[in-house]
Structure 1
Amino acid sequence: MRTPAGGKTVAETSVLVVDDDPDVRAAVVDGLTVEGYAVRAAADGLEALSAVAAAPPAAIVLDLAMPVLDGLAVCRRLRELGDRTPVLVLTARDAVSDRVAGLDAGADDYLVKPFALDELLARLRALLRRAAPPEATDAGTELHFADLTVDPATRTGERAGIDLEFTRTEFALLEVFLRHPGQVLPREVIQERVWGTDFGPESNSLAVYIGYLRRKLEAGGAPRLVHTVHGIGYQLAER
């Protein structure tokens, strides 16, 4: 049986699905159940917070646009309480500003509606892997490149005197570059290492997350470190 995170089998992995649309909620619940996850569901943000308090899940699939209490408010509340449960947000809004708002609220990854169930499952597996405790050999080992210092244990860093904090997906992407400085990494290789699958050339997820990463790494006017290599992929380099 598959072990998505921390040595747990899928059947031991609880996922909370939160969406006010009964059809979407049922489809996601059914898809996860077929995969063997232990699934619970909530129809709005207040139900979601109650469900988390009653029995913390291993991950949350959370719609952003909901009545009573929306997904952004749920994310912020969980993070304010110190809850670090991985959150995959679902949104019908594909504007960059909407996705950034979700990530800034504390989400770890996003998926735009309508979506393929296979992609949701791949992103969920990737989040669960990244939520697993770090290997003992990696704990406390800082990563460095140019004037950037990153701590894998806390997913935080520092550059040019500015403190940085990364979501799980942002850090997973940054870590790929830090482990291969100077190398030109093809898009498909990066997607396989971050999400565990290549979403194909039609997906813009990688480009979007490169944008999020640059926004943080270039805070305060710091020079670019992650460069586009047209027709191939990306490279971590000083230029």
Structure 2
Amino acid sequence: MTQTTPRVLIVEDDPVTASEIGAILAAGGLDCDRRASLAEAMARAADQPFDVIVLDRMLPDGDGIAAMQGLRAARPGAMILVVSALGTASSRIEGLDLGADDYLAKPFDPDELRARIRALLRRRGASAEGATGDLMQFGALQVRTKARTVHFGDTHVPLSPREFDLLAFFARHPGDVVTRMQLLEHVWDLHFDPQTNVVDVHVSRLRRKLDAALPVPVLHTARGLGYVFDPAGLQTASPTGPA
């Protein structure tokens, strides 16, 4: 199966520094997206999937570390590397205590920046592997990949093997737009488009079963793009109805 290129969101208002970081990471085979303010970064993170967020502190609309909670809410699972001229020990400790996964002071060595990004990607991959090794849980919804079972509270949600594989893939990418081609590659192990509606048919069947079993819809169509598994509503919903 093909692997997708890791995506990095660079939040840096200085165009020279942003361009430098982008060039360093692109040379390492990463796909980079640059934004110059917290507002732009929040909007982009809510709209597109990212594996790592490289975050400056002194931005036009605020301190980057003050926005980390919002960025994590917009893009769960993304690792955050603060890269800042505020490089004293107390500044680094503050950033890490407030939720940064790593902190790199400017000026930085390009090789060290690449190494830290690689380390964050390994940590993210290990975290995802651990989550998908057995239990993925969203509120009362439990997806167990070893037993290949789905429950909402105490209620079993019966799925066909293909439907389960679809849900498991969606559950590994909550909030992300998943394309039909990704599903063909990772669920059907096809690396070409067979020009059929096989994906749409199976996703439709899965959605009907989930809609019947859950109090809120979680599988949505992103028109012209693919599908989004959004379990946020399950955090406040109980098996007996909305909280």
TM-score, normalised to structure 1, is: 0.50
Counterpart-to-counterpart distance in 2, 1:104 and 1:139:
30
Specify the alignment match of 1:56 in structure 2: 49
Shift in Å, 1:96: 1.9
Q: AA paired with 2:80? A: V
Q: Sequence identity, in percent?
A: 41
SS for the counterpart of 2:92 is: helix
Counterpart-to-counterpart distance in 2, 1:39 and 1:82:
15
Contact 2:45 2:74 in 1 (8 A): no
Counterpart-to-counterpart distance in 1, 2:98 and 2:74:
13
Give unpaired runs (5+ residues) of structure 2: 136-243
Counterpart-to-counterpart distance in 2, 1:137 and 1:16:
25
| 2:2 equivalent to 1:24 | no
Contact 1:18 1:62 in 2 (8 A): yes
Contact 1:44 1:70 in 2 (8 A): no
Q: Could you tell me which of 134, 138, 154 is aligned with 2:129?
A: 134
Q: How does 1:76-87 map to 2 (within 5 A)?
A: 76-79=69-72, 83-87=76-80
Instruction: Give the direction of change, closer, same or farther, for the CA distance of 1:67–1:131 in structure 2 (3 Å limit).
Output: same
Specify the alignment match of 2:65 in structure 1: 72
Q: AA paired with 1:112? A: A
| 2:13 equivalent to 1:8 | no
Contact 2:49 2:75 in 1 (8 A): no
Counterpart-to-counterpart distance in 1, 2:106 and 2:133:
36
Q: Could you tell me which of 112, 118, 127 is aligned with 1:125?
A: 118
Instruction: Give the direction of change, closer, same or farther, for the CA distance of 1:129–1:67 in structure 2 (3 Å limit).
Output: same
Contact 1:19 1:66 in 2 (8 A): yes
Contact 2:46 2:74 in 1 (8 A): no
Q: Which runs of 4+ in 1 moved over 4 A?
A: 135-140
Counterpart-to-counterpart distance in 2, 1:130 and 1:14:
15
Shift in Å, 1:93: 1.7
Q: Could you tell me which of 91, 94, 102 is aligned with 2:95?
A: 102
Q: Could you tell me which of 67, 85, 99 is aligned with 1:92?
A: 85
Q: AA paired with 2:3? A: K
SS for the counterpart of 1:25 is: helix
Counterpart-to-counterpart distance in 2, 1:8 and 1:49:
26
**Residue-pair matches, total:** 132
Shift in Å, 1:57: 0.6
SS for the counterpart of 2:59 is: coil
Counterpart-to-counterpart distance in 2, 1:34 and 1:136:
30
126-135 vs 112-121, greater mean Cα deviation: 126-135
130-139 vs 50-59, greater mean Cα deviation: 130-139
Contact 1:75 1:107 in 2 (8 A): yes
Give unpaired runs (5+ residues) of structure 1: 1-6, 141-239
Q: AA paired with 1:37? A: L
Shift in Å, 1:40: 0.5
SS for the counterpart of 2:42 is: helix
Q: How does 1:134-213 map to 2 (within 5 A)?
A: 134-135=129-130
71-80 vs 37-46, greater mean Cα deviation: 71-80
Counterpart-to-counterpart distance in 2, 1:113 and 1:30:
16
Counterpart-to-counterpart distance in 2, 1:137 and 1:14:
21
Instruction: Give the direction of change, closer, same or farther, for the CA distance of 1:47–1:136 in structure 2 (3 Å limit).
Output: closer
Q: AA paired with 1:8? A: Q
Q: AA paired with 2:114? A: L
Contact 1:62 1:90 in 2 (8 A): yes
* Larger CA Rg, structure 1 vs 2: 2
